[in-house]
Amino acid sequence: GHGWEPLAVTLAAEGPLHRSFRAAGVPSLALDSAHRRQYVWAAIRLARAIRDVDVVHAHLFDAAFVSTVAGAIARKPVVITRHEGPALVRRAAGGGFNRNLYYLLDRLVLVRAAAVIAPSTAVREEVVALGAGRSRVHKILLGADMQRLGAADRARAEALRREFAAR
């Protein structure tokens, strides 16, 4: 064995993704929380589900928020992978009250995270500026299978790397 057992959790309802997980032998949990007003209950359900889990790893803002609350309840460390910087999250929130609320919640998530994985220097610097401790923010570049992107030859692969390089 590999020494660890994953549990895949989504905020979504049960669906094809969960069937795929189970077909691959990975247990999964659907929190069935499509609306943000359901997130407190989702966090409580998640906290119960992670009692025997060593670490929680969440992607994107909504899952990171729910996981942070659940991690606090269950006293479990939460690792966040940020695919975007805080500025993008705030822009998506719109203006006024929602924007300020997102800013505060995003800061809470980043400050409480045991670690933050950033896919670029730009995202790393944004999350550090928002309050995540520099020593807890780790830049890990996202990988891509160049052959699946149609770059079987070395020159095309290098051109794609330059075009999409994380800065």
pLDDT category at 140 given cuts 50, 70, 90 is very high
pTM to 2 decimal places: 0.80
Using CA atoms, how far apart are residues 29 and 152, in angstroms rounded to an integer? Answer: 38
DSSP 8-class letter at 141:
P
pLDDT digit string, tens, across residues 15-73: 999 899 999 999 999 999 988 899 999 999 999 999 999 999 999 889 999 999 999 99
Identify the pLDDT of residue 167.
Answer: 47
Neighbours of 33 (CB within 10 A): 21
Using CA atoms, how far apart are residues 166 and 149, in angstroms rounded to an integer? Answer: 17
Provide the mean pLDDT of the chain. Answer: 85
Helix then strand then coil, % of the chain, to nearest 5: 50, 15, 35
Identify the pLDDT of residue 71.
Answer: 97
Identify the pLDDT of residue 165.
Answer: 60
